[in-house]
Structure 1
Amino acid sequence: MRTADHAAAAARLRRLHHDRKPGEALVLPGAWDPASARIFAQAGFCALATPSAGVAASLGHEDGACPADEMFAAVARITRAVTIPVSADIERGYGLPPAEIAARLRAAGAVGCNLEDSADGVLLPTEEQAGFLADVRAALGSAPFLNARIDVYIRGAEEPLAEALARGSAYVAAGADGVYPIGAPTEDLAVLARALPVPVNALAQEDGPHPAELAAAGAARVTFGGGLAARAYAGVQALADHLLAS
């Protein structure tokens, strides 16, 4: 992607997070391959957020086991397939230094990213993650949207709301443009949205609140993790079962 095009797409993604009415959210489907990306774009969605779990599954890997080279290559194929901005879930950066994370995101055409604050199922110290985010922010520059995932709700923190507030504040101070308290209930989303000065990302799940309910609770951004890919693959499984039973 040319420098001017990349800058324009990054600016557009940033505007989409803020140019919304109260009670509305930016809904970003999780495209896992070029075909799904085109379908979502043609349906009218204005941006996408790739899911690491869905992309990994499409490449034959378990969630969290996809090599960095394959993940960034898959993101690049998705960005080439559409003309709308794409943010990439890159777990915690695959152990790459911040400068290389920024370079690979740019080469892949992504104009935003998620970075999570746990590794191997364990929460990292807040100060360590804040320092990492600050280094990534410096390497990215000001344009790409840096979304800081907060894993306290899925890692068994004793007081998840209090810790989410503390981590969110630290990550915003480090340069995060948004926070993603994955798995937070709607009542906690409302508290976080009031307390933190950046867009709060909520996870929409098939058996959970509708994106409109998450938006009403204060979420400014709604994503789906690997859920949409999983539903698509469940459809393939149902088709396979039907063919075998024919």
Structure 2
Amino acid sequence: MRPTPADKRQAFRALHAEGCFVLPNPWDAGSAVLLESLGFKALASTSAGMAWGMGRPDYGVARDEVLSHLSVLTHASALPVNADFENGFSDDPEGVAANVALAADTGVAGLSVEDSTGDAQNPLYEFDLAVARIAAAHKALAGSGVVLTARSEGFIRGRPDLDETIRRLTAFAEAGADCLYAPGLPGEAEITAVVRAVAPLPVNVLSPGLPVATLAGWGVRRISVGGSLARAAWGGFLAAAREIADQGTFDALARGAPGGELNRIFAEAQARLG
């Protein structure tokens, strides 16, 4: 039986209450189905993975294209889906509010809003505006059950200031964020400082390549991998294609997933979801 959006939101919120879980990032319906088959409890979209699949660079997709993509993911899997919703596709709080409401209508169980402007010279929204944007998103999602994750992007946008990152994250928490996320935190000192600063709210970490158990021991509740799974898939594709183009041989194709296994997994998912 296909779970309802309300079912997924309740399950997703419960995952944040204790322990630590991995939130892998599919980039299309097939990768979402495969990740579900491996036993993960929830999924997250990836703006980069989606864009690459469309032959575009990261941040090269429009809002309505993202909304359509989110609908595909939420219908492909019985798992809760968290939306990588970039900067909310608007600079002003009113626009963010309207857009996150549209994202909620796709059936997502959670979504993230960044404080990144897309302007290399001024990469982060001014503090008060950044907080107002999260407050507007929180108000727009009130009563929906959707988990709102507020992201502060300084460590991946050329502004690696831990004090300012914590200042923003704690203000986002006060503005109504349910989960906090600062991608690119470099190590234990920075990660644990963020965890302590926003406790008891959960913290998401972009995997730095460390074991789940290590990050869980630091107090992290949620781990995502961003576009890394998509990059791994593209890496295998490029290696095989380059071998054919450059050498005229086909050895790398033998490392592909067996077609029979893929057909079985997708057939089972189709039967389960109807």
2:11 match: 12
C-alpha contact 1:105 1:111 (8 A) present in aligned 2: no
Judge conservation of contact 1:148–1:171 (CA < 8 Å) in 2: yes
Residue of structure 2 in register with 1:146 after alignment: 148
Deviation at 1:27, TM superposition (A): 0.4
Residue 15 of structure 1 aligns with an amino acid whose one-letter code is A
TM-score, normalised to structure 1, is 0.91
Deviation at 1:105, TM superposition (A): 1.3
AA matched with 1:164 = T
Partner of 2:167: 166
Unaligned runs of 5+ in 2: 250-274
Cα contact 1:27–1:223 (8 A) shared by 2: yes
**Pairwise CA distance, 1:11:** 1.4
1:188 matched to 2:183: no
1:58-207 equivalent positions in 2, closer than 5 A? 58-95=53-90, 97-120=95-118, 121=120, 122-142=123-143, 143-157=145-159, 160-185=161-186, 186-197=188-199, 198-205=201-208
- Equivalenced residues, count: 237
1:187 and 1:217 in contact (8 A); partners too: no
User: Counterpart amino acid of 1:127?
Assistant: D
- Give secondary structure in 2 for the equivalent of 1:225: coil
5 Å-filtered alignment, 1:12-31, equals: 12-20=11-19, 25-31=20-26
How high is the sequence identity, in percent, across the aligned residues? 34
Using the size of structure 2 for normalisation, the TM-score is 0.82
- Tell me what 1:56 maps to: 51
**3-state DSSP of counterpart to 2:148:** strand
- Name which one, 1 or 2, has greater alpha-carbon Rg: 2
2:259 aligns with: none
Deviant stretches of 4+, over 3 Å: none
Q: Give CA-to-partner distance per residue, 1:149-194, whole Å, 9 cap, x none.
A: 1112122336x21112111110000000111111012221111112
2:192, 2:128 → 1: CA distance? 25
CA contact (8 A) 1:29 1:48 kept: yes
- The farther-off stretch of 33-42 and 118-127 is 118-127
Please provide the CA RMSD for this pair.
Answer: 1.8
- After TM superposition, give the deviation of residue 59 of structure 1 in Å: 1.5
Counterpart residue type for residue 201 of structure 1: N
Q: C-alpha displacement at 1:102, in angstroms?
A: 3.0
Q: Point out the more displaced range, 120-129 or 229-238.
A: 120-129
C-alpha deviations, 1:76-97, integer Å up to 9, x for none? Answer: 1111100110000010011282
Deviation at 1:213, TM superposition (A): 2.5
Structure 1 residue 126 displacement after superposition: 1.8
